[in-house]
Amino acid sequence: MTRVYGILGDPVSHSLSPLMHHTAFEALRLDAVYAPFEVPPSTVGDLLRGLVTCGINGLNVTVPHKETIVPLLDELAEDARALDAVNTIVVRRGRTIGYNTDVIGFEQALQELGWTRRRSAAMILGSGGGARAVAWVLSRAPGTHLIIANRHRDRAQRLAEWLKRLRPRCHVEVRGLDAVDVRGCELLINATAMGMTAQIEAPSIRGLTSQVMVYD
């Protein structure tokens, strides 16, 4: 029987996940398909229940559903529970289990780039589920200074307060996106939707030199 997978998002047309998964399925000679499901937040719960009823095997989750889909799931893995954000859903016997692979993905990517876990200064653009995973990874080193810059400062402040409770030895600062200055930072991470479409304008960034590692 053909196994069915997909991705939930809004928008989702930009996603390369269908191409990547279909290529992998063909290479591995798996009888499986992968479909994009563009669904607004108001109906994501109905679609999820319908897909599970129809026998879907698993889903990826992208913006803006990574956090809002959490209470709709039957079970959460450890990282997903800590972050309160999910980007992967596995369906087993009709039960939905949420995972967050942003954590291990980001950590492994930094290692491949030669970054070692250490006390550092970093700026994160964005404050959604992806930004939360990035902050969780970087704050593992005591004494790290994180700057969270977001268009809506109140949302960035909520992320900062969450991190301070769980990582009290990490210094967290909140800024807006109107004046991004990375002087003194070793890392700049884009965890916003910038770059997905031409309509999303990138902020002006000051102090960016070859000494700053940039990760999108």
Residue 164 falls in the annotated catalytic set: no
Whole-number Å distance between alpha carbons of 23 and 29 = 10
Q: Identify which of 14, 53, 69, 52 has the alpha carbon closest to the alpha carbon of residue 36.
A: 14
- Active-site position among 65, 66, 132, 167: 66
Got the DSSP string for 119-177? S-EEEEE--SHHHHHHHHHHTTSTT-EEEEE-SSHHHHHHHHHHHHHH-TTSEEEEE-S
The number of residues making up the chain comes to 216
At CA 75, angle to CA 71 and CA 80, rounded to 5?
75
In a 3-state reduction of DSSP, which class is residue 45? helix
130 to each of 13, 63, 67, how far by Cα in Å?
19, 9, 10
H or E element at residue 19 = helix 17-28
User: Torsion-angle region of residue 39: left (phi > 0), alpha (psi -120 to 50) or beta?
Assistant: beta
H or E element at residue 206 = strand 205-206
The catalytic residue positions are 66
